[in-house]
C-alpha cells in the first residue's frame, strides 16, 4: 500500500490531469453527493451512478434517489452544467440472497466491507464498459465509512478494470463532510438516519 496519505495522492492526481477526463462517480445518497460533486466538477466531466441495491425498503431507495436527482438538478442549474445520472436496474433479490444475516458482525465489519465491495464493483464495471477515464465513490465523505478501506477496494478493482483509473480520495478531509451538510441543509434534503440495508434499519429501530 502507498505510504502517502490518500488526501495527498488525490491532490497530486488532480493537479497533473490533462484536459477534463470523464469520471463515473458512485453515490449512495444526496447529502453525501453535495460536496464531492462541487469538488470534482472543476477537474472532470462527471456522470453520477446510483448503484445501491442494499437500500431497504424500496420506498427508501426511491426517496434517496429523488434526493440525488435534486442535488444534480440544483448543481446543473447553478453552474450551467450537464451532469448526468445513471440509475442501474437493481437486482434487489440477488442482493438480499447474498447479504442475508449480519449475525454478530457489527456495522463497519466484514459484512459492510462485502457490501461496499459489491456496490463499488458493479459501479466500476459500468464505468469500465462505458469507457470512462476514472471512477470513484462519494462514500469517503462520511465519517462512518473508513476511507482507507474504500480506497483499498478501489485499488483492487482497478486491477480488474485497468482501462478505467481509480481516483483515490478522502472527501471527509478539509471539512468536506461539514461543507456537504451545509449544502444539504440549504437544499432541504432528506437526511437518512440509517446506512441502508435491512439490518441497519432493524438496528436503528431497536435503538
Decide: 203 and 107 in contact? Cβ < 8 Å.
Answer: yes
The tens digit of pLDDT for each residue in 73-91 reads 999 999 999 999 999 887 7
Backbone angles phi, psi at 84, to 5 degrees: -105, 165
Decide: 32 and 142 in contact? Cβ < 8 Å.
Answer: yes
Cell 466484514 belongs to 110
pTM of the model: 0.93
Note the residue count of the chain.
Answer: 207
- Dig out the grid coordinates for 71 from the structure: 442535488
Which runs of consecutive H residues, i.e. helices, occur in 161-206? 176-187, 198-206
What's the confidence (pLDDT) of residue 193? 87
- Residue 82, class by beta-carbon neighbours within 10 Å (0-12 exposed, 13-18 middle, 19+ buried)? exposed
Q: CA of 61: how far to CAs of 30, 64, 66, 138, 206, in Å? A: 12, 5, 9, 17, 21
What's the confidence (pLDDT) of residue 4? 84
The answer to whether residue 65 scores a pLDDT higher than 70 is yes
Backbone angles phi, psi at 25, to 5 degrees: -110, 105
What's the confidence (pLDDT) of residue 117? 96
The answer to whether residue 119 scores a pLDDT higher than 70 is yes
Q: For 44-53, 180-189, 196-205, which range has the lowest pLDDT when averaged over its residues?
A: 196-205
Amino acid at each position: 500500500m502507498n505510504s502517502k496519505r490518500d488526501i495527498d495522492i488525490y491532490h497530486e492526481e488532480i493537479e497533473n490531469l490533462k484536459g477534463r477526463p470523464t469520471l463515473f462517480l458512485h453515490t449512495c445518497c444526496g447529502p453525501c453527493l453535495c460536496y464531492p460533486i462541487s469538488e470534482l466538477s472543476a477537474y472532470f466531466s462527471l456522470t453520477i451512478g446510483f448503484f445501491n441495491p442494499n437500500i431497504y425498503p424500496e420506498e427508501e431507495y426511491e426517496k434517496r434517489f429523488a434526493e440525488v436527482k435534486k442535488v444534480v438538478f440544483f448543481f446543473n442549474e447553478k453552474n450551467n452544467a450537464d451532469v448526468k445520472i445513471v440509475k442501474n436496474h437493481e437486482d434487489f433479490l440477488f442482493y438480499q440472497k447474498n447479504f442475508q444475516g449480519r449475525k454478530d458482525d457489527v456495522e463497519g465489519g466484514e459484512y459492510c466491507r462485502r457490501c461496499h465491495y459489491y456496490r463499488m464493483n458493479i459501479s466500476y464495471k459500468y464505468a469500465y464498459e462505458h469507457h470512462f477515464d476514472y471512477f470513484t465513490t462519494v462514500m469517503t465523505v462520511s465519517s462512518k465509512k473508513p476511507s482507507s478501506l474504500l480506497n483499498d477496494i478501489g485499488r483492487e478493482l482497478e486491477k480488474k478494470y485497468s482501462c478505467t483509473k481509480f481516483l483515490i480520495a478522502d472527501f471527509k478531509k478539509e471539512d468536506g463532510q461539514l461543507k456537504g451538510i451545509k449544502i444539504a441543509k440549504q437544499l432541504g434534503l432528506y437526511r437518512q438516519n440509517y446506512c441502508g440495508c435491512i439490518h441497519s434499519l432493524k438496528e436503528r429501530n431497536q435503538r
